[in-house]
Amino acid sequence: MLLFTFVIFGLLIIVYFLAIKPFNYWKERNVQTGKIIPFFGDSFGMFFGMESYADMTVSLYNKVSNVRYVGAYQFQVPSLVLRCPRLIKEICVKNSDHFLDHRSIIPENVDELWSRNLFLLKGQNWKDVRSSITPSFTSSKMKAMFVLIHEISNTFVNHFLEKNEDFIEVDFKDYFSRYSIDIIASTAFGLQIDSLKDRQNKFYMMGQEGANFSTPLKKIIFFIYQLFPRFSKFFKIKLLGDEVRLFFVNLVRSQIEIRRKINIKRPDMLGLLMEAQGVEQNENASEIENSNSEISMEHLEVNNQEKGLTESDIVSQAFIFFVAGYESGSSAMCFMAYELALNPDVQKKLIEEIDAVKSDEAPAYETIMNMTYLDMVFSETIRKWPVLVATDRVVTKPYTIEPEHPGEQPLHCKNGDILFLPIFAIHHDPDYFENPEKFDPERFSPENKGSIQPYTYLPFGAGPRNCIASRFVSMEIKAVFFNLLSHFEIVPIEKTPIPLKLIKSSMNLASETGFHLGLKRRNRNITY
C-alpha cells in the first residue's frame, strides 16, 4: 500500500511538472491565452495531423482578437504571438539588439551540420558569421551567379521542348523539386547534374532525404528535442542519418580541397564562402541590407578576434543553404504556377511583358530583376503562400513591452522568452490585405504597394535576422518562369486540385494532392 501511494504521488508530481506548471506561464503574467491542451499546448492538432503548420499559425493569431499579442504554448514551451505590425517593428528592427537569436529547435552540438549554420547561431557567433556571409548575397554577386541559374532554367525548359508535343501534363512538385536541386547543386556545391534525366542521381536522393522533416521518425525526434533537450543533447540524438550527413560533409570538404589544390574560382555559393574565409567586411557593405533601410550595420559588427569562416562554418552554411533553398524555392514555384494556371488573365499579362523584353540573346540579370509585372506576380505569390510560414525571436537582453491600449500592463520579457511571428496569418488578415484569399498582383503595383502597412508583408522575415538569401530565391524563380512562359502557357487539368488543400504532415506549405498542371505549347516559331 505504501509503495502504491509513492507511485501515485510520483505520477502526480510528473503530471504537475509536465502538464500543469508549464502552462501557467502566461496566466501569471496577465497575458491572454486560448484553450490549452496538457502536454501539447497549442501543437496538438499539428502533431496528430489534424491541421497544417499554416493553420496552426492562424489559430494562434486568432485565439484572442483586438490585442497586440497573445500567449501560446508550442508543446510546453511558452511563446508570445505578435499580432501588431508596430510591435513587430519595435521587436525586430528598432530594438533588435534585445532579440538577436532564433529559438534552438535542435540542441546545440548534437550535429555538426546544424551547430554552425547561420539560422541557429546565436549572439556574437551569429554576428561574425552573418558579417562574413552577407557580402556573398549582394546584387553584384547575384548577377555573377545568374549565369549559372539561367543555364539550368534553360535546361529545365528544353526538357519539355524536346518532347515536341503541343500539350504536356506535368507534376510540378516533382519537376520543380528537381530544378531546385539542380540549382543548389550548381550554385552551392559546384556540381553539374541533370535530375530530369538522371532521376536517381545520388545528390538528388540524398537531398530528398536531408530536406524531408515530415517523416514519423523525424517528428518524434523533434518532439524529444522540445520536451527533453538535455536528454537529446546528452545522447546526441541526430535528426539526419549518418549516410546523409557524411555525404554532405564529405562533398563540401572534397570540393574545397580540389578548388584550393588547382586554384578553381567559380561564382557559386561555395566559392563565395571560401572567399569569405579570413576576409574583412566587403567594401559593398552599404548595399547588403538595402531591403531594410532602418537596420543599422552595427548589428553586424564583426568581433575582431573571430573574423572569417572556418571549414566547419562553410559546411554548415552550405547545408542550411541547401535545406532552406530546396523546399522554399520549389514550393514557391509550385504555388506560382498554380496561381497562374487558375488566373489566366494574370498569366496573359505576364506573358505579354515577357514577350515585350525577350530577344534572341540570353536575358541579362537586370532584365529579369527589373520586370515590373513579374515582380508583382512573384510578390503576390509569396504574400499568399509565404516562404516563411512563421519565424521567431528569443529575448537575449531583458526588455519591457510598454502598454499602449486600455487594460494593458507592462510585459517584462526576460532572457530566453520566445516571441512568435505568425507570418502566414498576418498575410491573410483582411485588415491588412483586402480579400486575402484572392490572388491579386495589383496589390504590389508601383501605385499600390506604398499603401501596404509596414511590417504586414514579411515573406522573408524582418530586421537583421531576415532571410539572407531573398535575392537568390527571387532570381531562381523569376528566371525559370521567364523561360517557361516564353514557350508555354500553364493551364489547369483534370487532376489539378481546386480548391487547393494544404498537407497537414509538413511544416512547410504543400498541396495534399500535388501540383498537377498542363503545359500548352505557345508559338512553335519561338526558338529562344
For the annotated binding site for heme, the residues are 467
Query: Which of 389, 326, 52 minimizes the C-alpha distance to 176?
Result: 326
Q: What one-letter code names the amino acid at 397?
A: K
- Residue 126 and residue 100 in contact, taking contact as beta carbons nearer than 8 Å: yes
Query: Which of 108, 103, 107 minimizes the C-alpha distance to 72?
Result: 103
**Is the bond preceding residue 499 a cis peptide, omega within 30 degrees?**
yes
Q: Which residues contact 345 (CB under 8 A, 6 or more apart)?
A: none
- Residue 102 and residue 394 in contact, taking contact as beta carbons nearer than 8 Å: yes
CA contacts within 13 A on the Cβ side of 36: 24
Q: What one-letter code names the amino acid at 284?
A: N
Kindly report the backbone phi and psi dihedral angles of residue 438, in degrees, each rounded to the nearest multiple of 5, phi listed first.
-80, 135
How far apart are alpha carbons 431 and 428 in whole angstroms?
9
DSSP 57-120: HHHHHTSSSS-SEEEEEETTEEEEEE--HHHHHIIIIITGGG--B---SS-TTS-HHHHT-TTT
DSSP 162-200: TT--SEEEEEHHHHHHHHHHHHHHHHHH-----TTTSTT
Please state the residue numbers annotated as binding site: 467
Q: Is the dihedral of CA 329, 291, 385, 371 positive or negative?
A: negative
- Name the grid cell of 260: 584550393
Beta bridge partners of 421: 391
How far apart are alpha carbons 419 and 399 in whole angstroms?
12
- Residue 425 and residue 458 in contact, taking contact as beta carbons nearer than 8 Å: no
How far apart are alpha carbons 61 and 83 in whole angstroms?
7
How far apart are alpha carbons 291 and 9 in whole angstroms?
57
- Residue 301 and residue 97 in contact, taking contact as beta carbons nearer than 8 Å: no
How far apart are alpha carbons 9 and 14 in whole angstroms?
9
